[in-house]
Amino acid sequence: MKKRIGIGIDLGGSSIKFALGTEQGEILKRGKRPSYAQEDYPIILDEISKAINDLVVYAKSIGKKVSAIGIGTPGSVDVTSGFLKGSTPNFRYWKKVPIKKELEQKVGLPVFVDNDANLMALGEARFGAGIGHKNIICLTIGTGIGGGIILNGELFRGSNFAGAELGHTTIKYNGVDCRCGGKGCLEKYASASAMIDQFYKKSRGQGYPVYKDELNVKYIFKQMESGNSLAKEVIENSTYYLGRGLANFMNIFNPTIIIIGGGVAEAGRAYLKRIKNIAFKYAMDCSRENVIIAGAKLGNKAGYMGAISFALNQLSLVSSMKRSN
Ligand SMILES: [Zn+2]
């Protein structure tokens, strides 16, 4: 069987990660460009099309032809039309963008667009920690908490492409305000930013000279390991909330695996172990049976690998629909 080739684009707040790869998950070339998140949207589209053109040229040089392009972007996407509906906090003008239409005009190849957390989940499901699983919950813990849900082997997007917002499930009903309009959302308590915020506030409160710009999750874990009680408290709080969140997801979806990705998951094995303990303690007996809670395997490759797989799959769907008409 001939291996089809696709391009995957993972648009993030600071960079565009991109790759050329096969349907089977083999990566032939990859790269990174700035995403210019504060600029007007045509500039971002230009950067994406430059990345695509470079990869198309490379594919030609090795005698291959690109069949389709998959784009993962933050925000809510109408997958049928490839239109970015909602805005996203890290980008200034990246909303209401006809991504598919504009990019297809620029690059002359079929383009398919989905939410970035969805495509990361798909990447992990097909090529990473989720191989062999059909019901998968995937969380990416970073500035916020991105969620992806795979049910019976398919991405679940909701009826209006706005589902799977696992980071915005309420974990504290009267908690702090969230950018989504809700209160006490999981990401306000268990994201990397929430951890950093709490550590910063607590340390300042106790008179420690901590600079927020220099803080990251790895540092907080290191501090905990060297006996810093504030770091311990922050990590214990955050893992407690995340564990409670996971218990909810186990009760609702009854997955066989929950995959945790993002910088926080990479920061320490103790982190995953603690989340597991809390989640298993609070989930219902039947819901937690045979559930694995595991770290993501693909790191920041998950987004573009999922995008390639998604694009080639959508291309097959479109061609089979054309044939049956
Ligand atoms: Zn929220």
Neighbours of 26 (CB within 10 A): 13
2-11, 18-27, 31-40, 82-91: least confident range: 82-91
Cβ atoms of residues 300 and 19 within 8 Å: no
Q: Which residue has the tokens 């083999």?
A: 26
Distance of CA 139 from the midpoint of ligand 1 (Å): 15
Distance of CA 96 from the midpoint of ligand 1 (Å): 21
pLDDT for residue 4 is more than 60? yes
Neighbours of 230 (CB within 10 A): 19
Q: What is the DSSP letter of 286?
A: H
Predicted confidence at residue 268, as pLDDT, reads 67
d(CA 47, CA 291): 41
Distance of CA 103 from the midpoint of ligand 1 (Å): 31
Distance of CA 180 from the midpoint of ligand 1 (Å): 4
Predicted confidence at residue 209, as pLDDT, reads 67
Distance of CA 46 from the midpoint of ligand 1 (Å): 31
Predicted confidence at residue 218, as pLDDT, reads 86
Distance of CA 182 from the midpoint of ligand 1 (Å): 5
Per-residue pLDDT of 50-84, as tens digits, reads 999 999 999 999 999 999 999 999 989 999 999 99
Per-residue pLDDT of 87-146, as tens digits, reads 777 888 999 999 999 999 999 999 999 999 999 999 999 999 999 999 999 999 988 899
Distance of CA 29 from the midpoint of ligand 1 (Å): 36
Using pLDDT thresholds of 50, 70 and 90, give the confidence band for residue 203: confident
Token reading at 78: 């109408």
In the chain, where does DSSP find H-type helix?
41-61, 99-107, 116-127, 186-190, 192-205, 217-225, 229-253, 263-267, 269-282, 285-288, 302-324
Distance of CA 85 from the midpoint of ligand 1 (Å): 17
Distance of CA 165 from the midpoint of ligand 1 (Å): 9
Distance of CA 232 from the midpoint of ligand 1 (Å): 25
d(CA 297, CA 97): 31
Cβ atoms of residues 85 and 71 within 8 Å: no
Distance of CA 294 from the midpoint of ligand 1 (Å): 24
d(CA 178, CA 271): 24
Distance of CA 183 from the midpoint of ligand 1 (Å): 7
Cβ atoms of residues 237 and 189 within 8 Å: yes
Predicted confidence at residue 43, as pLDDT, reads 96
Distance of CA 262 from the midpoint of ligand 1 (Å): 18
Distance of CA 86 from the midpoint of ligand 1 (Å): 14
Distance of CA 319 from the midpoint of ligand 1 (Å): 38
What is the distance, to the nearest Å, from the Cα of residue 56 to the centroid of all Cα atoms in its chain?
A: 25
Distance of CA 161 from the midpoint of ligand 1 (Å): 17
Per-residue pLDDT of 245-300, as tens digits, reads 999 999 999 999 999 998 787 776 788 999 999 999 999 999 999 999 999 999 99
Distance of CA 221 from the midpoint of ligand 1 (Å): 25
Distance of CA 170 from the midpoint of ligand 1 (Å): 8
When pLDDT is averaged across residues 43-53 and rounded to a whole number, the result is: 97
Q: Phi/psi zone of residue 189: left (φ > 0), alpha (ψ -120 to 50 degrees), beta? A: alpha
Distance of CA 140 from the midpoint of ligand 1 (Å): 15
**Separation in Å, CA 150 to CA 54, 75, 207, 247, 265:** 32, 18, 46, 17, 20
pLDDT for residue 34 is more than 60? yes
Closest alpha carbon to 309 in 94, 104, 128: 128
Cβ atoms of residues 120 and 302 within 8 Å: yes
Distance of CA 69 from the midpoint of ligand 1 (Å): 31
Token reading at 224: 């905990």
Predicted confidence at residue 153, as pLDDT, reads 93
d(CA 181, CA 262): 24
Predicted confidence at residue 33, as pLDDT, reads 95
Distance of CA 177 from the midpoint of ligand 1 (Å): 8
Closest alpha carbon to 141 in 257, 262, 228: 262
Token reading at 115: 């939410």
Residue 318, SS3 per DSSP: helix
Q: Residue 69: enclosing H or E segment and its boundaries?
A: strand 66-73
Per-residue pLDDT of 134-189, as tens digits, reads 999 999 998 889 999 999 999 999 998 888 999 999 999 999 999 889 999 999 99
Amino acid at 177: D
pLDDT for residue 321 is more than 90? no
d(CA 127, CA 306): 8
The per-type count for the chain, helices as H runs and strands as E runs, is 11, 12
Distance of CA 200 from the midpoint of ligand 1 (Å): 21
Q: What is the crossing angle of helices 269-282 and 229-253, to 10°?
A: 50
Distance of CA 156 from the midpoint of ligand 1 (Å): 19
Using pLDDT thresholds of 50, 70 and 90, give the confidence band for residue 322: confident
Per-residue pLDDT of 213-254, as tens digits, reads 778 888 898 899 999 999 999 999 999 999 999 999 999 999
Cβ atoms of residues 4 and 284 within 8 Å: no
227: Cβ–Cβ under 8 A, 6 or more apart, which residues?
Answer: none
Looking at per-residue confidence, does 320 or 53 come out higher?
53
Distance of CA 167 from the midpoint of ligand 1 (Å): 7
